[in-house]
Structure 1
Amino acid sequence: MPKINSFTKLFTLFIATTVIVSMWAISVNAQVQLTERSKLALDGIGPIRVGMTVDEASRAAGVRLVKSYAPPNEEFCSYFKLQGQPQGINFMVTKSRIVRVDISNQQITTIKGIKVGDTEEQIIKAYPRQIRIIKNPLGGRGNNLIFVPQDKGDSQYRLIFETKNNRVTSFRSGQLPQVEYIEGCS
């Protein structure tokens, strides 16, 4: 049986380390991008977190955020969206910080898998004993289903599902009080 010299051992170790570091870099890069596979959490989506500035969020997502709506009192709040794909993700910004994420994209889900088109029953099942239901304050044939987290560390956040005819039409998450603004920045 041939002897393995120290050069061969060192070379093998170098190759193995290079492969491991490369795989790690690829997986980290894949996690950074904001895509339709990104999940909405109480405090953000994918790599974007509530509390980030628009520039920080753009860098984290790997795509520029551009202003999509600003009312006369822009200091109160404004909306930003991604320049490009995916569409149907809007970020409410107050005092230069992201405070809320609004979803209308039919592919994006919450961490528990709820998406546009799902039923109120699916929401209640996914978030047992943590959903508060209120009639749509703007009228119509729908409800707002509000996920109230039980963890004290998340007490300043909410996840709100808007429904019409028992189906989710949009959902949002973020910090109080902005996540509860019924008409966004209006």
Structure 2
Amino acid sequence: MNSKAKILTLATTMLAVSSLTVQTVVAQAKLTNQSKLFINGIGEVRVGMNVSQAAKAAGTRLVGDSPNNSCYYVKPKAEPKDVGFMVTEGRISRVDVWRNSKITTLKGAKIGDSEARIKSLYPGQIQVTPHKYVQGGHYLTFIPKDRADHNYRLVFETDGKRVTQFRAGKLPEVEYIEGCS
């Protein structure tokens, strides 16, 4: 093989690997059931993004209520199911997870976990308050220690024993008990 052919082969190989790498990054950026919830977003979607930016970061269309309201929800058109984004003032302000036991927080907390497990995952940072609608239930609120995160929370709702749903986002929206109602 002459040197011109070697260079062409090398360039073709590099282009193929580069293309594969870009496709892998795009695939990883898509919002899935393996995406992790953290105090200011999920996967690549961040609190503060507008809906268009969030859809691009999620790699899927976000559909939902009319944006004419000052507060409304959008959700991924396809997967993951039972994930919603609260939008206030045109920006994502919180992420809600219902009935989806596959999505976890960065520490691995998920729907179905015991209250004790949540407290053990976030030692000394969980504030427990009574649930407004579920007798014996609680809100387990993770309060971050990092000063940069002081306006964010992670809230686990329980039936008194196990997590039934959870959400993350900025204050005050993350603490709204009835969503946009």
Please report the TM-score for the alignment, with normalisation by the length of structure 1.
Answer: 0.88
From the CA coordinates, give the structure whose radius of gyration is larger.
1
Q: Map 1:50-89; keep pairs closer than 5 Å.
A: 50-68=47-65, 74-75=69-70, 77-89=71-83
Q: Which residue of 89, 97, 107 maps to 1:95?
A: 89
| Alignment partner, residue 166 of structure 1 | 161
**What is the CA distance between 1:179 and its match in structure 2?**
0.3
**What is the CA distance between 1:58 and its match in structure 2?**
1.4
Q: What is the DSSP-based 3-state SS (H/G/I as helix, E as strand, rest coil) of the residue aligned with 2:79?
A: coil
Moved >6 Å (runs of 4+): none
Amino acid at match of 1:25: V
Q: Is the 8 A contact 1:157 1:174 kept in 2?
A: yes
Amino acid at match of 1:24: T
- Structure 1 residues 33 and 180, CA, compared in 2 at 3 Å: closer, same or farther? same
Please report the TM-score for the alignment, with normalisation by the length of structure 2.
Answer: 0.90
Q: Is the 8 A contact 1:40 1:173 kept in 2?
A: yes
Q: What is the DSSP-based 3-state SS (H/G/I as helix, E as strand, rest coil) of the residue aligned with 2:37?
A: strand
Q: Map 1:1-186; keep pairs closer than 5 Å.
A: 6-7=3-4, 9-68=6-65, 74-75=69-70, 77-104=71-98, 105-186=100-181
Q: In structure 1, list runs of 5 or more residues that go unmatched.
A: none
Q: What is the DSSP-based 3-state SS (H/G/I as helix, E as strand, rest coil) of the residue aligned with 2:49?
A: coil
Greater CA deviation, 25-34 or 9-18? 9-18
Greater CA deviation, 61-70 or 43-52? 61-70
Aligned-residue sequence identity (percent) comes to: 48
User: 2: CA distance between counterparts of 1:116 and 1:137?
Assistant: 19
Q: What do you get for the CA RMSD once the two structures are aligned? A: 1.9
Q: Is the 8 A contact 2:115 2:160 kept in 1?
A: no
**What is the CA distance between 1:21 and its match in structure 2?**
1.0
